[in-house]
Amino acid sequence: MIYLDNSATSFPKPKEVINAVNQSFTKYGANPGRSGHSFSVKTAMKVAGIRAEISEFIGAETPENVIFTSGCTDALNLAILGSCRKGGHIICTSNDHNSSLRPIFELKSKGLVEVTVAKPSRNDKLRAEDILKCIEPNTYLICCNHISNVDGMEADIYDIGKVCYEKCITFLVDAAQSIGHKQINMLKQRIDLLAFSPHKGLYAPQGVGVLAFSSRTKLRPIRFGGTGTESFSVEQPKYAPECFESGTLPTPSILGLGAGLRFVIQNFSKINEKIEDLTTFLNYELSKIKNIKVYTHPDNANGILCFNIGDMPSVDVAEILDKKYDIMVRSGLHCAPLKHIELKTLHQGIVRVSMSFFTTYTDITKLIKAVKNIALKYESEKLNK
């Protein structure tokens, strides 16, 4: 099997991650922070250490500003719903995933906020100038996908963050596809809210997400329940991170996240040089094949590439790659409808290839050969009609 759906979740996982998850069942099996016995305290200390490692990696202000969630969707919901200002204005982008769009448009449907969708003026990058022209006097939140999960388009978050800081607008970055691949520093890039899913670029298990926030962000809990703190009160605690982490934390996933994070830190340059080379190679080779349309700009060598073959439904191409060539890619709309409206692929969808450190040149060469064969058959069938 050739697995090329790493933007959905990375596979395989490093052995360090597998070992860490196994340890959660042998050495760190207690409920962290929910009991006073030594086993619980030991597990809680392990979780706290990983929280601190994440904080340092992303340039958060303190470990307490790092919240564990059930996934990136949960993190984005907390960021958007927990910072809502009635009568305010939100800017999102056409690159955004439904994990951001749906909570934003839910607020709009209830008449709580106004929404403007910013679009890239050029096909290579989302720039600060694209955001600037959408700002209104009541804009309080700018939500930006760092790297599109459809075509790998990158947003210039440094310049966008600078605009947000100067205008006192909260800056939310969805780093689901960029964490582990791009250098992110919340302080330097003036990011107020950073959401990401570690099971992709950090090679962690599924079941845990992260939301980090800055001290200038006013964030309210959207879930309520037991936290192991202030248990004498029926009211939610006031202090982070506990006030945002009701319920039992997913210790196995958090331990796997810690191991994945360390794996990425140790191999950061090697991982991303390889992914950039593979993306560039694939883009170049597919662009030479007749009837292939590549949507990913050559400058966006971020491990994601999307294409179509003529007017073939993307689901048909993906099915052939799976059934005939044992190659796993993703087709369809990728939960990003505004991006597909922009690319004019809402009806056809797109075939997406997404790579990881464990993808090889042989894998990509076999994919290119398979796509070429499908394109040749498509051409032949067109001529015979």
pLDDT one-digit tens code per residue, 176-233: 999 999 999 999 999 999 999 999 999 999 999 999 999 999 999 999 999 888 889 9
- pLDDT at 77 (0 to 100): 98
Say what the pTM is. Answer: 0.96
Structure tokens at 114: 């106004």
pLDDT value at position 160? 98
Task: Say if residues 216 and 61 touch (Cβ distance below 8 Å).
Answer: no
CA distance 292 to 294: 6
* Alpha-carbon distance values, 300 to 306, 311, 364 (Å): 11, 24, 17
Query: With 80 as the cut, is the pLDDT of residue 354 above it?
Result: yes
Contact in structure between 47 and 32 (CB atoms under 8 Å): yes
pLDDT at residue 300, as a whole number = 97
C-alpha–C-alpha distance, residues 213 and 202, integer Å: 19
In the prediction, which pLDDT does 251 show?
96
> 38-58 and 251-287 helices cross at what angle (nearest 10)?
30
Q: Dihedral of CA 333/145/101/71: which sign? A: positive
What is the token pair recorded at 317?
């191409």
81-100 pLDDT tens trace: 999 999 999 999 999 999 99
Q: Residue 195's beta-bridge partner residues?
A: 174, 211
pLDDT at position 146? 98
Q: What's the confidence (pLDDT) of residue 93?
A: 98
Give me the pLDDT at residue 69, please: 98
Q: Are 101 and 125 in contact (CB under 8 A)?
A: no
Any idea which architecture 2-9+268-384 has in CATH?
Alpha-Beta Complex (3.90)
Instruction: Give the pair of three-digit tokens for residue 267.
Output: 């191999």
Model pLDDT, residue 184: 98
Is the link from the previous residue into 120 a cis peptide, with omega within 30 of 0? no
CB atoms within 10 A of CB 137: 5
Q: Could you tell me the residue ranges of all domains in the chain?
A: 2-9+268-384, 15-261
What pLDDT is attached to residue 381?
A: 85
Model pLDDT, residue 384: 79
The pair phi, psi for residue 126, each rounded to 5°, is -95, 125
2-9+268-384 and 15-261, same CATH topology:
no
pLDDT in tens, 8-64: 999 999 999 999 999 999 999 999 988 889 999 999 999 999 999 999 999 999 999
Q: What is the pLDDT of residue 109?
A: 98
Q: Which of the following CATH numbers is that of domain 15-261: 3.40.50.1370, 3.40.50.920, 3.40.640.10, 3.30.540.10?
A: 3.40.640.10
- How far is residue 126's CA from residue 120's CA, in Å, rounded to a whole number? 5
Give the mean pLDDT of the chain.
96
pLDDT at 228: 84
**Cα–Cα distances in Å, from 35 out to 32, 70, 111, 248, 249?**
7, 22, 43, 12, 13
Buried-state track 45-71, b at ≥16 Cβ within 10 A, e below 16? ebbeebbbbbbebbbbeebbbbbbbbb
Q: For the residues 354-363, what does the mean pLDDT come to?
A: 98
* Residue matched to tokens 């050559």: 298
> Using an 8 Å Cβ cutoff, are 355 and 279 in contact?
yes
Between the alpha carbon of residue 89 and those of residues 13, 107, 115, 166, the distances in Å are 41, 10, 6, 17
DSSP secondary structure letters along 258-285: HHHHHHHHHHHHHHHHHHHHHHHHHHHH
